[in-house]
Each structure stands twice: as C-alpha cells, then as structure tokens.
Amino acid sequence: MSTANSETKQPSDFIREQIRADLAAGNTASIVTRFPPEPNGYLHIGHALSICLNFGIAAEFGGICNLRFDDTNPTKEEQEFIDAIQQDVQWLGFSWAGEAKFASDYFQQLYDWAEHLIQIAMAYVDDLSAKEIRTYRGTLTNPGTPSPYRDRPIDESLDLFRRMRKGEFPNGARVLRAKIDLAAGNMNLRDPVIYRILHAKHPRTGNSWCIYPTYDFAHGQSDAIEGVTHSLCTLEFADHRPLYDWLIDKLPVPTVPRQYEFAKLLISHTVLSKRRLTRLVEEGYVSGWDDPRLATLSGLRRRGVPAAALREFVSQNSVSRNEGEVEMAMLEHFIRDSLNQTAERRMAVLRPLKVVITNFSEDKIDWLEAINHPDKPENGIRKIPFTRELWVERDDFMEDPARKFYRLSPGREVRLRYAFFITCIGVIKNNSDEITEVHCTYDPETRGGDAPDGRKVRGTIHWVSAKHAVDAEVRLYKPLYTRADPGANGDFIDDINPDSLEILNGCKLEPSLNKIERGVPIQFERSGYFVHDTDHRAEYPVFNRTVALRDSWAKMKAKS
C-alpha cells in the first residue's frame, strides 16, 4: 500500500469527489491508481503533484498505487533514469504496490491485442512515411484522406505486421495504424499510429523486440492489465481520452479503467519540459540533472529542500481543471517554514573580514554558550570559542556608515551574538586602500550580550573565532532564469540568469559545523538555510544555501 508521512491534510477536489461517487455507487470495490513516468529523464517538481495525488489517493481510500514505467521508446530510455525515478518517489515519502512495473512487462500481450485489432478490421499496416501520414490526416478544418493502404486485406496486414515483428523492415518503413475515423474533429482519432519499427536495444528487453507500441496504445491497456480504476493524467491528455476509451472498448481487456485529467503544476522562473531540461544538461548549462538550480526532484533534494515541504506545497495547490502559474516565492515560503522548525542554528561568516580585539589576551579562549534552536530548548546549547581574532561579515562594517546602518563602524558599539559588546577604534588597510582588519575593544562586563548598566546597542552581528574557524566553500543560488516565463520571447536559453550561482571560497564556519551529519539542514544565522552538497568533503566542507531567510511570499500574502 502507498505510504507517506501524512503531516499534511489533503484537500478535497473533483477527483476525490469522483472516487467517492464511484465507491458509493458500487462502480468499483477498491481503488487502484498508478504513477506512470517515462524513463527518459529525471523527475521534476511538476511530477511531485502527480506522485502525491496518485499515491495519496490510494492511501486515503485504502487502495494501492503502482509505479509503472512507460518504457516504450528505447532510443531515449536508460537504467539511470529508472533508478533515479524510484529514488525520487521514495524520497518524497511513498512506496508502491509490489515490484515496480513496466509497460515492457506487457509487450507480448500488447502485441497480441494489436493482432486482434487487425483481425477485426480495426487496424492496418500502412506504408506511408511519417510526413505523408501527417498530410493525409488533414487539418482541424478539413477531414483526412484515406491512406492507399487503409483497405489492405486483413491477411496481408497481419502478415506484414508479423514480419515487422521479425525485423524484416527498416525503421520508418511501415507502421500499424488503428482504423477509426478520418473525419473526426479530434485529430487523435484519425487513424493514429499504434506500433512503429525501432531497431534499438531496450534497457530491459534487449533486442527481443524491434517494434514498439506508442504511448496511446500501451498506456490504457497497461492500466487495464493492472486493474487501474482511476487513470489520472494531466490536461494535455484530455484530447487523447476518446482514443483511450476506443481502444479499451475494442480490445478484450480484463478490466475497464477510466481516465481523468487535472491541471499541471506550473512555477514561475523555471522550466519543467523534459526536452528543455535535457537540453540544459546535455549542452552544459547546468552541472547535471541534480544541479541545485534545476526544479528536478534530485536537484531540489541536493539543494536541501525537505520532502515534507514539497508535500505541503503540493497539498496547498489544490487539484484543478484550470492551469495557473504559482510564484516561486510561494514554494520558497513552504521550504522556509519547514526548515525553520527543524534546522538548528549555527554561525558562519561567508565574506570574512578580520576583527582584532585589542584588549583581549592573545592566548586566551573564552567558551561561550549558544542555543541550538530558539523555539526548542530541548535541543540544548553548544559551546563556542571567543578569541582575540575573529571573523565577521564584510558587509557588517562601514568606515563611512550610511544612514540607518546600525552595525560596526568607527566609534560605534555593537553586540557580538552570544558574546560581548565591542567598539571599533580603528582599521588597517593595504596598499590598495582596502580594509584588511578592524580593531576593536570589548567590554568584559557584557558577557552573554547584555550590559549590567542597562545601556543598549542597535546592532547585533555574528562572528567566528579566527583560531577555530573551519574553512569552507558555500554556494548561493538564485533563480536560473531572469524572467518568470523563460522563452516567452524567444529561446529560453537566452533568459538564463548569469548570476544564478555564486561560489564563495574561504568562508569561515564555527567549529561545531564540522560535526553536522550529511543531509541535516542548518540555519546559518542571518544568512539562510544550508545543507551539505554532494561535493562535500571532511577536509573541505561544501554547503548549498537552500533558501534565504527573507520570506517575500508571506509578506505579499499578508498584504493581500
């Protein structure tokens, strides 16, 4: 049975209403759904909606959900994609009924059913080329023209189809077409191709087959074999439903599934087309399918997005028949909200500037206490070292401060997080007039961050002991595209954001970050939420920023 950590409440929608009606009317005794990805690429966030819907509905109604790979095009399919898809589904928190299934499991049955269509004069072998078939089909306003081979004798079509199966003809020489209605307003019913010749090695069946069913022929029949009751597809398959139903009606299938369509999940500042994602990967615009800038599930996982946040995000975008785009800021809100509850806090300086505490002994170390999570006292405290030389953020110092700049500047006193008040007394510059050190004094009476005399400071900054700092690489991400609708005015490649990735080397981390396990999210105070990258090494940590602290979507929602 499908399972998930169901901390989210599933909304009601038209699909669930249909299922309740079918159960109440006795149309079905138990629910069977399926998630049917093509293994020709990695899953993306749009698939998360389908995964959560299919597996979630099965769990909600006490049914089962199959994972079935639509592996009918061996020229584009790889075992790598099969493995990645299974990992993604499991990462999201779901498990499928029994073993993973494949359309290729049913190749012999599908072939037998294709022969059945020929034998009942509902299919024929056509010698027209793909271009000729498109021409003969007509247009939206003009009916199609019958192929010269449409009335080919049944025995002749059957013989040719069997010879296609034996590999006697080259790719594209012949196809098998269903015989339906060349005047149909729905182009999918104008004698669609249901089998084509492909001399290519299949990832699972090897060279056993050289003809393969099309998606339209394999999908509904695979549903019927598996006893799927509700075949849930995105809206682009709505026009394919009449063909789905026609094939189910004409073939001696063991069960009768029904197809229902819902709107895709579309998100601003990203692309979810597999064709486009493949181009980004193959042409080197990103580092791979798991590049953290991509909206692939593996990319989101590498970036540190919690599966729980994706499930909550999907549940809040109810299943609909109407497509609409969701702001990227909304997704980030759910990620931020999830991480805020789980991520412990640490200090890390990303763009370091040295601070020297001139009245602090050079060989002294003062171990201070810092809380691990402000809302979870049970998470305890940690000890952090305070020494004469510290690292602070370069942006936290201005020699000539702007108005409303409340951080460190000459003559100004600020608070060091968990530590002391310090006051800037001077700077050291290099030959290029760049500040290399800031000299300060500290008030030992303010240990812990409060002054016994009650005086207040307006700025609090984070820091790391220079003597104990861990050097690290930190990667900061921005949207991969400069516009919300990439490619709307041309090639989507032209809209790639050249600043989508910023790599910072020589960042300074507090020493306790060396003890954080891989995959455990951490909030770098004042900087955002971070997680180890797959490139992380013990000798040189690498962290990805999952999301910054600022929540623009929450602010927009509050104003609306």
Q: Which domains does the chain have, with CATH numbers?
A: 14-102+216-329 (3.40.50.620), 107-214 (3.90.800.10), 346-470 (2.40.240.10), 472-559 (2.40.240.10)
Q: What is the C-alpha separation between 352 and 472, in angstroms, rounded? A: 12
- Dihedral of alpha carbons 513, 522, 528, 341, sign: negative
pLDDT tens-digit profile of 449-503?
A: 899 999 999 999 999 999 999 999 999 999 999 999 999 999 999 999 999 999 9
Neighbours of 95 (CB within 10 A): 15
Global model pTM greater than 0.75: yes
Residue 559, judged by CB atoms within 10 A of its CB (0-12, 13-18, 19+), counts as exposed
User: Can you spell out the DSSP letters for 154-183?
Assistant: HHHHHHHHHHHHHT-S-TTS-EEEE---TT
Q: What is the C-alpha separation between 504 and 502, in angstroms, rounded? A: 6
DSSP 8-state secondary structure symbol assigned to residue 89: H
Q: Which residues have a Cβ under 8 Å from the Cβ of 124 and sit 6 or more positions away?
A: 118, 147, 149, 150, 151, 152, 157, 176, 177, 179
Q: What is the C-alpha separation between 71 and 78, in angstroms, rounded? A: 9
pLDDT tens-digit profile of 199-212?
A: 999 999 999 999 99
pLDDT tens per residue across all 560 residues of the chain = 444 544 445 458 999 999 999 999 999 999 999 999 999 999 999 999 999 999 999 999 999 999 999 999 999 999 999 999 999 999 999 999 999 999 999 999 999 999 999 999 999 999 999 999 999 999 999 999 999 999 999 999 999 999 999 999 999 999 999 999 999 999 999 999 999 999 999 999 999 999 999 999 999 999 999 999 999 999 999 999 999 999 999 999 999 999 999 999 999 999 999 999 999 999 999 999 999 999 999 999 999 999 999 999 999 887 899 888 999 999 999 999 999 999 999 999 999 999 999 999 999 999 999 999 999 999 999 999 999 999 999 999 999 999 889 999 999 999 999 999 999 999 999 999 999 999 999 999 999 989 999 999 999 999 999 999 999 999 999 999 999 999 999 999 999 999 999 999 999 999 999 999 999 999 999 999 999 999 998 888 999 999 999 866 556 566 65
Cα distances (Å, whole numbers) of residue 89 to 82, 86, 292, 311: 11, 5, 18, 12
